[in-house]
A = this chain, B = another copy of it.
């Protein structure tokens, strides 16, 4: 009585992997779910049954990629986890996010383009936002809205901006720009 049949699990992985490949070689939005299905060797219906719609597919992929980061942020004792000084936690988190975004530009773009109707409902985004808000409450001068600032910081990882910066100077450049900006903001 396992939750998922073996063929279902196999197909879900195949679809996710096919999506990654297409994201890597074509841009975001430049391929249809038909192509995903074909590449995964399954029918189109399967893709939709597993992920609901295009949006769900990218959400699932992003969640998978973000899992390690989520874990690092939540586990006490680590450099990013609870207990570490907030400033370090925040800057470290942004570093990790820069990495993640820089290495998954197409995914970030596709995700936000497709979740656009309410990005604020996406579980991954919500988790990140909550995390940042919590840290910013302690770090920003009173009078600055920490929730808004958290959105503002997450907006740094807008797919197009990331692509723009990464094309010019690679992931390193992105990380440095983000960090420099955040440090300026925290200098207040």
Contacts and interface: CB of A to CB of B under 8 A. Distances in A.
Categorize the interface residue count of chain A.
20 to 34
Interface in A141-173: 141, 143-145, 148-149, 151-152, 155-156, 158-161, 164-165
Contacts of A120: 160, 164
A94 to B, nearest CB: 12
A184 B113 contact: no
Contacts of A188: 184-185, 187-188
Given A120-B160, A144-B181, 17 more contacts: A109-B116, A116-B160, A118-B160, A140-B184, A141-B184, A143-B180, A144-B184, A145-B177, A145-B181, A149-B184, A151-B164, A152-B155, A152-B181, A155-B156, A185-B188, A187-B188, A188-B188
Interface of A: 29, 109, 113, 116, 118-120, 140-141, 143-145, 148-149, 151-152, 155-156, 158-161, 164-165, 176-178, 180-181, 183-185, 187-188
